[in-house]
Structure 1
Amino acid sequence: MGTGKRGLLMMAVTVVCAVTVLAAPGTAFAAPSPSPTPSASPSSSPTPVSNKELEEVRKKLEKLYHSAAVATDQYNAAEEAAEKQSAEIVSLAKKIVRGQEKLAELKERAGSAAAAQYRLGGLPDEAKLMLSDDPRTFLDGAGRVIQGQRATKGLLAEMTRTQQDLEQYSRDASAQWQKLEAGRKAKAAAQKKIEKQIKAAEQLESQLEKEQLERLKKLEEEAAYKAQTAWLDSGALKDVKGKASEQGRKAVKYAGAQLGKPYEWGAEGPKTYDCSGLTSQAWASAGSGIPRTSQEQWKQLKRIDIKDMRPGDLIIYNDDASHVAMYIGGGAIIHAPRPGRTVTVAGAGSMPILGVVRPDA
């Protein structure tokens, strides 16, 4: 292999392939075989990189960033779960404190009752009643005995329930803590994978000259345009005439105001976003809380036919629901594409559509 730019490119592709295989066991991406070239002299010009070779780079970048997107969803899901689990642990801790205070109060009441009985000579009410010769006193005493027995039983039952509640709260808190720890490990593993995939992609791109990077971006745009054209030619938008709801208009307005802001995995704004961070915050601004990740948005929100799509609806992409965008009408979307890109407008059919969901169904 020569020492020109083509040689550097092929070497970078090979390195990235190795990183990808390590990051995703069972999936291999073969590096293109370079054509034999004569040894380059110090004065020779770099061998031009063909569009075919750049297309190979584009496809590998697409796979790397897709893998990073999947890991980002895993990271976001772990973070969302951790927030809920932490809140639950705090809530349980408060319940335990209140339960302990209540149990202490009940024990104090029981102690007071025992002390009062001791001061009266230690005879229980039942014994005093049996020693009474006055019928009226006997009848009045009988009523008090029954009330006292009920009160004692009630006090003991309440103490038992409070103790049981405390034990259950403690078990629940322990379980939530274990989940929190497991979530932290999952989050750390996802973060490691994200960083590895993005680093590999950046290393690959760093091997290209400025002119080659511009050609690579052009190839990305051409691939997106080709997919969008095929989608439109299929008649997918033929019957799409839905108008945005009031909430949908607010969500679209929010998303539009973020145009040009950088993509950052795990980010929910206001300066940077990932794909589901943008859509979830847009709908939060419209007064409708939705799941944080694209996969959960796909699972939990109402699914609708493309023909019924309206601005504000979310389009979920890829078989694994690893990307999401907001439909804004006219066959267009707003989305946060990937690292190195900014929030932008694109064709709704420029990526493989899994389906459409509606947050305000």
Structure 2
Amino acid sequence: MRRPLRAHSYRTAAAVVLACGLTVTSQQAARADPPTLTRVRAQLAGLYHDAEVATDKYNAADEKVAAQQKRVDVLNARVKTAEAKLSVLNSQAGAMARAQYRGGWLPAEMQLVLDDDPATALDNASLNREAQQARHSVLTALSTTREDLRRRTDDASDELKHLKATRHTRKNEQHTIEQHITAAKKLESQLAAAELQQIAALDEKDADDAQTKWVSTGVLKKVGTEATPAGRKAVAYATRQIGKPYVWGAEGPNSFDCSGLTSQAWLAAGHPIPRTSQEQWRQLKHIPVEDMRPGDLIIYFSDASHVALYIGDGKIIQAPRPGRWVYVAPAASMQILGAVRPDA
């Protein structure tokens, strides 16, 4: 994915703009001048960028729903456990009461008068009273705990409904963006082969220029070259995925989106990390780019909407965008926001 060059409001109308500007025959497309190609590239990049942002938001919403569902399940289990304990204690209390009734239970003071051993009777009465008080305290505490758990479960269930509604909204937004992507792909298919080659050449030139500028700062003389054992495992996993297609929301084993690839690489290395690029940027330890080492993640664009795995020698492995495959690319081919370290 290339750096977006248009505002969001401009992008949302990009499909219409492209439809007006590119509904041409192959012969007309072949005569398009470079500025037109530049504009088309910017518009397509904007569409792909918005689609990736929407997908990232959906993935984040989905992850929150899954976490909240686990919380609700745990609370429900705890409620059932408390209720089971209450049932047992209530049964024991009832059994004791029935036993005392059948045994002709007498008040403690009468037992003291009638018993041949007043000291033993006094001890027995005291023990019975303590047992009853202890059981009553436990029953009260368990009842309070059960009610508290029920309230928390209800609150958690309400939050789960809210998160599911948010996920549904994100899914609808993603669907709208995917419609734009479908239109963009259709328009791309109308370009002549020469046009597509020119666009690819412009993309490659931009990437090479950005990489050359980045390398000229001397950054590669500072970055680390040795990965940690976990970092090597993450790089090895990502390397095995090269050639697999990019698919929205996919996290393997046959296809990936950008953060699906990085999260699965580090899961394979024994370090689970957040699912989305934005959460990876928010939760993982930030490190200076010049302190990177193989296995670290590079986060791209100001909204942290893209992520790739740094593999050393100024290169990354990334899942770029629809229609592309997991591949090795120059680390500075996109706008770098920063770097994070999963195994800090």
After TM superposition, the score normalised by the length of structure 2 is: 0.88
Select which of 138, 142, 161 maps to 1:181.
Answer: 161
Aligned ranges 1:328-339 → 2 under 5 Å:
328-339=311-322
Aligned ranges 1:1-361 → 2 under 5 Å:
20=12, 46=28, 48-124=31-107, 126-132=108-114, 134=116, 137-207=117-187, 208-211=190-193, 212-361=195-344
Q: In 2, Cα distance between the equivalents of 1:45 and 1:304?
A: 51
What residue ranges of structure 1 are gaps of 5+ in the alignment? 1-15, 24-28, 35-39
Change (3 A) 1:45 1:314: closer
Q: In 1, Cα distance between the equivalents of 2:321 and 2:228?
A: 29
Q: In 1, Cα distance between the equivalents of 2:235 and 2:293?
A: 11
Q: In 2, Cα distance between the equivalents of 1:296 and 1:264?
A: 19
Could you say what secondary structure the match of 2:173 adopts? helix
Report deviation, 1:19: 6.8
Change (3 A) 1:160 1:17: closer
Alpha-carbon displacement from aligned partner over 1:323-350 (angstroms, at most 9, x marks no partner): 1100000000001111121111111111
Report deviation, 1:154: 1.1
Change (3 A) 1:197 1:217: farther
Q: In 2, Cα distance between the equivalents of 1:111 and 1:286?
A: 56
Change (3 A) 1:345 1:200: same
Contact 2:59 2:276 in 1 (8 A): yes
Report deviation, 1:238: 2.6
Identity of counterpart residues, as a percentage? 42
Change (3 A) 1:18 1:297: closer
Report deviation, 1:199: 2.2
Report deviation, 1:104: 0.8
Contact 1:205 1:213 in 2 (8 A): no
Alpha-carbon displacement from aligned partner over 1:93-144 (angstroms, at most 9, x marks no partner): 22222222111111111111111221233423x132342374xx22112211
Change (3 A) 1:106 1:92: same
Paired positions, count: 331
**Bigger Cα displacement from structure 2, 240-249 vs 196-205:** 196-205
Report deviation, 1:213: 2.7
Q: In 1, Cα distance between the equivalents of 2:167 and 2:105?
A: 64
Could you say what secondary structure the match of 2:134 adopts? helix
What residue ranges of structure 2 are gaps of 5+ in the alignment? 1-7
Question: Residue 46 of structure 1 aligns to which amino acid in structure 2?
Answer: Q
Change (3 A) 1:116 1:32: closer
Contact 1:291 1:297 in 2 (8 A): yes
Report deviation, 1:271: 0.6
Alpha-carbon displacement from aligned partner over 1:32-51 (angstroms, at most 9, x marks no partner): 997xxxxx9x9x95362222
Question: Residue 127 of structure 1 aligns to which amino acid in structure 2?
Answer: E
Contact 1:315 1:353 in 2 (8 A): yes
Q: In 2, Cα distance between the equivalents of 1:224 and 1:343?
A: 17
Q: In 2, Cα distance between the equivalents of 1:32 and 1:255?
A: 37
Alpha-carbon displacement from aligned partner over 1:179-206 (angstroms, at most 9, x marks no partner): 2222222222222222322321331342
Contact 1:260 1:343 in 2 (8 A): yes
RMSD: 2.7
Question: Residue 134 of structure 2 aligns to which amino acid in structure 1?
Answer: G
Could you say what secondary structure the match of 1:215 adopts? helix
Could you say what secondary structure the match of 2:220 adopts? coil
Alpha-carbon displacement from aligned partner over 1:139-174 (angstroms, at most 9, x marks no partner): 112211221111111111111121122212222222
Change (3 A) 1:266 1:204: closer
Change (3 A) 1:242 1:189: same
Question: Residue 131 of structure 1 aligns to which amino acid in structure 2?
Answer: V
Contact 1:264 1:274 in 2 (8 A): yes
Q: In 1, Cα distance between the equivalents of 2:181 and 2:20?
A: 20
Could you say what secondary structure the match of 1:237 adopts? helix
Q: In 2, Cα distance between the equivalents of 1:244 and 1:253?
A: 11
Could you say what secondary structure the match of 1:170 adopts? helix
Change (3 A) 1:132 1:166: same
Contact 1:334 1:343 in 2 (8 A): yes
Q: In 2, Cα distance between the equivalents of 1:83 and 1:204?
A: 33
Q: In 2, Cα distance between the equivalents of 1:127 and 1:120?
A: 17
Q: In 1, Cα distance between the equivalents of 2:18 and 2:319?
A: 29
